Amino acid sequence: MFVLAIHGGAGTLKKKLMTSETKERSYNALKNALYAGYQILKMGGPSLEAVEAAVVSLEDEDFFNAGKGAVYSNQGNHELDAAIMCGKTLNAGAVSALKHVKNPISLAKKIIDDHSFIFLTGEGAEEYALLNDIPLVPNTYFSTEYRLEKFKLTQEADVVLLDHDDVQFGTVGAVALDVNGDLAAGTSTGGLTNKVFGRVGDTPIVGAGTYANNTSCAISCTGKGEFFIKHVIANTISCLLQYKGLTLKEAYDEIFNQDFFNAGGRGGLIAIDKGGNIEMPFNTDGMYRGFISSKKETFNVGIYDEKLKSFETL
């Protein structure tokens, strides 16, 4: 059995502002990312590689706030964070405050392959990328007109805009279970528009925004990072499965729908447990999301609180 689930952030456009063109574009972006991971899983490949491939596809798509299309920090440039984790070994690769790495998730994957350390930040991370032939690009590569407009608005209003409050596109992530029963999770983001220079959210923090453990589940989160860090969302859900025997749904009801929500936490997450069950809860207007599994090899994608739309594989 294999399963792959992905998200493109819990900050979707309000339903009334969603044109059929934008909807089509987001569906295509999600289908392409599912396809990238599905090809690997279908051939019996590892979940870690499927997660990397799906996230790279989403990073390269300027529709989402990760890789190309990332939001602007208060210094008028882009700072990117990402993490990837292997459920079998608990090895992880995490990177933050990157300014020139084209695909942050691939740098995180390189770190996990080396497994002599877990978290690299800023200039050190970029030096490591250079030494390991991970493609670097000028910071302007990540820029888009759309994000620049939003940045100018936030600067004028002097606010830090959460993707979600401003109903923008969001962070991206993927979780997968492969035919060997190994789980993996990965997440990549540009963070928050007009965020304080140097601010790092939950995305690269193992246990907060990203977590995988073969004894429980794999999780990738999206939303205002500070809340995910405070409630250590991904690891708490995993622990509720591992130590208390809860199902995924019971576990996120316990923490995500209660303490996290009551404290003002907004966002969503995607999760797969060791039995291949998928959950994709969110408490925002919508979350770009999709999944494919060996049970029924179709692309299932959706945005709002609605039945997912099914498409034949490409």
Instruction: Tell me the catalytic residues.
Output: 171
Q: How close are the terminal C-alpha atoms of the chain, in Å?
A: 20
Does 173 sit near ligand ASP (CB under 6 A)? no
Does 191 sit near ligand ASP (CB under 6 A)? yes
Does 223 sit near ligand ASP (CB under 6 A)? yes
Does 201 sit near ligand ASP (CB under 6 A)? yes
Does 203 sit near ligand ASP (CB under 6 A)? yes
We find the least distance from the C-beta atom of residue 211 to ligand ASP, in angstroms, to be: 14
- Residue among 192 and 255 whose Cβ is closer to ligand ASP: 192
- Cβ(109)–Cβ(80) below 8 Å: no
Q: Which stretch in 47-55, 150-158, 216-224, 269-277 sits in contact with ligand ASP by CB under 6 A?
A: 216-224
Residues 6+ apart with CB under 8 A from 239: 216
Does 225 sit near ligand ASP (CB under 6 A)? yes
- Residue among 40 and 82 whose Cβ is closer to ligand ASP: 82
Token digits for 173?
Answer: 């992530």
Does 7 sit near ligand ASP (CB under 6 A)? no
Does 9 sit near ligand ASP (CB under 6 A)? yes
We find the least distance from the C-beta atom of residue 304 to ligand ASP, in angstroms, to be: 17
CA distance 102 to 313: 28
Which residues are at the interface with ligand ASP (CB under 6 A)?
9, 11, 65, 163, 170-171, 189, 191-192, 201-203, 209, 222-225
